[in-house]
Amino acid sequence: MLAVQTLLASSLMASTALAHFTLDYPTTRGFDEDKESDFCGGFTSVSSRQPFPLGSGPVHIDSHHTLATVVAFISTSENPSSFDDFNTTSNGTSIPLASSIFQVAEGERCFNIDLGSLVGLTNGSDVTLQIQYDGGDGNLYQCADLTLIDGYEIPSNETCTTDASKASNASATSSGAASATSSASTDSSSSSGGHKGIVGFGIMSVAMGLAGLTLL
């Protein structure tokens, strides 16, 4: 019996260790799985800024949950230090979501974001991208610091042809999960208070009926 208990405990620890995600492109500020639930995954200082398209550009993540919910935000602050910096600009203008709210299955996934259409960004604008990820055990975060370049060409190995944020590529496996995601998107777009608040959809309603994603 002791051997069985030890095996179960070891399995649980191994499962917990994998309960995260990585931001692979653009390159994350840093990764520490013990701090991934903190602002910018625990890496609060701006790192070297990377060139990124002013128009449509890809984001690559590696999801370590069977099913998770993802959304992307940006900050126009020179040195964002709190979640509020991803809700409004320095003059109080609300910043739209950089992506839709969508679900991904386990594994390497990508989606495209078009930052050129957001809050008057132009060639040379410095922004910070923050990915929020919830696999059912709380929100996790990763950040990347970018300089937007008009006409910047993404490396050929980083392009994204199967966009996980598109409805045709959705990972949800039941009509219930799909309708919940649709409802969440509607609630988010109709909110006048930035990204704050509770979005009421069960990100793993297909399997476990877990709590919904809490936006920044």
CATH number of the domain at 46, please. Answer: 2.60.40.2550
Residue 98 lies in a domain: yes
Domains: count for the chain? 1
Looking at residue 97, its pLDDT comes to 96
Assess if residue 134 is contained within a domain: yes
E strand or H helix that includes residue 17: helix 2-17
Q: How confident is the model at residue 213 (pLDDT cuts 50, 70, 90)?
A: low
The pTM of the full predicted model, rounded to 2 decimals, is 0.74
Cross-strand partners of 61:
23, 109
64 in any annotated domain: yes
Q: Rounded distance, CA 131 to CA 216, Å? A: 10
Tell me which residue range forms the domain holding 58: 17-169
In a domain, 129, yes or no: yes
193 against 24, higher pLDDT: 24
Residue 7 in domain: no
∠ Cα 172 140 89 (to 5°): 100
68 CB contacts (<8 Å, ≥6 apart)? Answer: 21, 103, 104, 133, 134, 135, 136, 203
